[in-house]
């Protein structure tokens, strides 16, 4: 395991808190994300909003913030009329914005520490920045990251060529680790693992797969097969699940524990259903924050070491996760 992640987990008492959904919060702050670039659009239209959302999560207990680069690709920016150089600059900017938010947070901690009168959690602590790498399907913006069906024409070499430059740039931009998110199939996991080794990427990574049945990843590939790829890659320091309904997480952790000894990372969505045709979440199909958080202690008992939220979760969700994990940590030490 990376000493960076190991040190964070040790500092957090064994379980660290990841941030929650980015796009939902950007929209709440007034951003219009009806665009193939999705939240990455804000890298050039409203970077201050991204910085504010990062800060909101830190002030609600997140130990790890993920950059606004999930849908940011050089190819995607090019389709919007940007040059390769401008696209690369925006990838770097995604990490810079997260670093700026971390510095702002640390400055706030210097003024007052603990739980502020306004409810903010201000605690000097290690904070990691995870550079988000969305799948090839996320770039296509056609919902295929939720099906994993890229067609027969897409090979492992296609995927490596697609991701290579982006991964190199994000790895060299000052992030602490790479977060390969919503990985929908075994092929893309293999492409990522090979890229990390071949390009001698210097920072650690995690792989987070998504599932719609609690057994396999969304393509139908075996989660255990996918987890084994992460387990065998020395550059990968954690493996888990994101953007998956909370009700499936228990069984998925059990499966992953059969094939990996690495820390388990878990950040589900709210359980709402995404309609790829209209590019909207179906209202009233998810769980409440209370129900979401009720799962957290069990996930921790099963072996989850990094826990947060994905789409449609908010700073309020993360705050509740922080509270649950903090109270259970206090209870554990109280018994010693």
Annotated binding site for Zn(2+): 243, 310-311
The CA distance from 57 to 42, in Å, is 17
- Coil, helix or strand for 179? strand
Cα–Cα nearest to 233, from 306, 275, 182, 180: 180
Dist. CA 251–CA 11, nearest whole Å: 28
How far is C-alpha 126 from the geometric centre of its chain's CA atoms? 18
Q: Please, what is the end-to-end C-alpha distance for the chain in angstroms?
A: 27
Strands 121-122 and 114-115 turn out to be antiparallel
Q: For the chain, what is the radius of gyration of the CA atoms?
A: 18
- 141, 36 Cβ separation under 8 angstroms: yes
Question: Whole-angstrom Cα distance, residue 227 to residue 256?
Answer: 6
The binding site comprises 243, 310-311
Main-chain phi, psi angles of 64, to 5 degrees: -130, 130
């Amino acid at each position: 395991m990376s000493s960076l992640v190991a040190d964070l987990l040790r500092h957090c008492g064994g379980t660290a808190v990841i941030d929650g959904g980015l796009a939902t919060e950007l929209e709440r702050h007034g951003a219009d994300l009806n665009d193939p670039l999705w939240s990455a659009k804000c890298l050039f239209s409203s970077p201050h909003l991204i910085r504010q959302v990062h800060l909101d999560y830190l002030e609600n207990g997140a130990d790890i913030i993920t950059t606004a680069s999930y849908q940011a690709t050089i190819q995607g920016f090019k389709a919007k009329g940007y040059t390769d150089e401008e696209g690369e600059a925006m990838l770097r900017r995604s990490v810079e914005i997260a670093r700026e938010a971390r510095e702002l947070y640390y400055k706030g901690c210097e003024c007052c520490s603990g739980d502020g009168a306004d409810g903010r959690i201000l605690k000097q602590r290690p904070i990691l920045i995870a550079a988000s790498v969305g799948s090839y399907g996320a770039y296509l913006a056609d919902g295929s990251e939720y099906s994993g069906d890229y067609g027969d024409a897409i090979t492992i070499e296609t995927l490596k060529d697609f991701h290579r430059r982006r991964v190199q740039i994000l790895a060299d931009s000052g992030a602490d680790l790479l977060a390969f998110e919503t990985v929908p199939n075994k092929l893309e996991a293999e492409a990522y693992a090979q890229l990390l080794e071949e390009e001698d990427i210097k920072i650690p990574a995690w792989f987070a797969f998504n599932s719609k049945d609690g057994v396999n990843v969304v393509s139908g590939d075996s989660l255990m097969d996918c987890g084994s790829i992460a387990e065998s890659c020395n550059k990968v320091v954690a493996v888990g699940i994101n953007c998956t309904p909370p009700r499936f997480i228990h069984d998925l952790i059990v499966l992953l524990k059969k094939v990996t000894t690495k820390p388990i990372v878990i950040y589900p969505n709210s359980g709402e259903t995404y309609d790829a045709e209209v590019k909207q979440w179906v209202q009233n199909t998810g769980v409440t924050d209370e129900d979401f958080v009720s799962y957290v202690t069990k996930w921790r008992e099963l072996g989850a070491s990094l826990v947060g939220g994905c789409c449609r979760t908010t700073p309020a969700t993360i705050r509740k996760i922080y509270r649950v994990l903090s109270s259970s940590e206090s209870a554990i030490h109280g018994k010693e």
